[in-house]
Every structure is written in structure tokens, then in C-alpha cells.
Amino acid sequence: MQKKLFYFVFIAVYLIFSPTVFSFNFGYVDAGKLFNNYAETKKTKGFLESEKGKLQQELDAKKKEVADLDAKYLEIAKKLQALRDSKKDAEAKSLETQLRAQREALSKSNEELQKFFEESQKRLYQLEDDKMGKLTKVLDERVDNVIKQIATSKQLEAVFEKRFCYFGGVDITEEVIATLNAGGPGGTNAAAGPANGAKKKTKPE
């Protein structure tokens, strides 16, 4: 990764400052901004937040159930202790059975809560990995085509990622975003096909 980064930086600096390429025209894009402002990214994030909200509601309901069982258990335990202190052994004995049943119900509810929490976290991670992974793959392909089209129209000989561009260049980020979003899901209207220009893949930072 470090070697690759050095390579990109070296090439960018060479192309910008080399005395043999004073007429070199290049552009750059902010990959993070592009990803975050892409319409499908916002849609996907909205979906993930919605799913997270649903699971959180279920989790809160189960937490309340455990809290209610715990409160009931403490209530029975206090009554039992009061009966024992009052030497009411017969009544205390009957309450012991109720306390035992309440303790078992509380234990079971706690186990279910823990299981639900672990499964919901796993589900969210898998869902996010799947959705964002597919989004990134599709966006990379479509951004390549859009950048090629814009680079050709602006007569840019190369397009770099912003991190590798320290000076000069034309920022085409907003134009790429607008073209993608104007074309509907994925900017299909903009991705007219390959053209001469630099190929640039983007992914969230």
C-alpha cells in the first residue's frame, strides 16, 4: 500500500512539475465527497439506518421486559424476607416457589436478550457489508465512465484522486456528482461508454 501511494504521488508530482509537460492538463476528484454525496449512497445509508432503528426498537422492548421481570423479582424477594422476619414460615414457603419461578423467567429473558443483541449486531454487520460493498463496486464502475467522459470534454489528460494532488489541477468532483445523480440510479445517462482519459476508482475513506 505504501509503495502504491508513493508511486501515485511520484507520478503526480512528476507530471505537475516536469519542465517537459508545462502544457499538461489534469483534473482531480475528492473520492470521499463523491461517495457521500452520491444519491444511491444516501439511499443505502437511509435503508441501513431504518433497519438499525427497527432492531433497536425490538432490543428496547426486550430490555424493558427484563427490567420488569427484575423489578417483580425484587418485589417478591422483599415480601419473602418480610415474611421470614415475621416468622410466617408457611406463607414464606409458598412465596419461595413464586420467587423461584420468577428467577427462572428472569434468567431466561436475560439469555434471550443477550442472544438477540448478538444476532442483531451480526445481522447489521452483514447487511452493511453486503449493501455498501455492492454500492462501492457499482459506483466504481460508473464513476470510471463518468470521469472519462468529463475528462474528454475538458481535454484533461489525466484525473487523480485529491489525496495525490497537492497543487494545481481542475476539481471535477461536483461535476461528477451532478452527472451521476442526474442520470438516475448510478448515473446511467452519463456513463455513455469509454473515452480517452484517466481511469479513476473511488471508494469511501
**In-domain check, residue 149:** yes
**In-domain check, residue 200:** no
- Look up the domain containing 56 and give its range: 19-182
Number of domains in the chain: 1
Q: Report pLDDT digits (tens) over 147-205.
A: 999 999 988 888 888 888 778 888 898 999 999 998 743 444 433 333 333 444 444 44
d(CA 156, CA 175): 14
- List own/partner pairs for 51-55 with CB under 8 A and 24 or more apart: 51/124, 51/127, 52/124, 55/120, 55/123, 55/124
Chain position carrying cell 512528476: 14
**In-domain check, residue 3:** no
Q: Report pLDDT digits (tens) over 20-36.
A: 445 678 888 898 898 98
Q: Would you state the cell numbers that stand for residue 49, as one nine-digit string?
A: 439506518
Q: Report pLDDT digits (tens) over 107-116.
A: 999 999 999 9
- pTM reported for the whole predicted model: 0.62
Q: Where are the extended beta strands (E) located within the chain?
A: 26-29, 158-161, 170-171
Say which range, 6-10, 82-86, 151-155, has the weakest mean pLDDT: 6-10
What pLDDT is attached to residue 188? 47
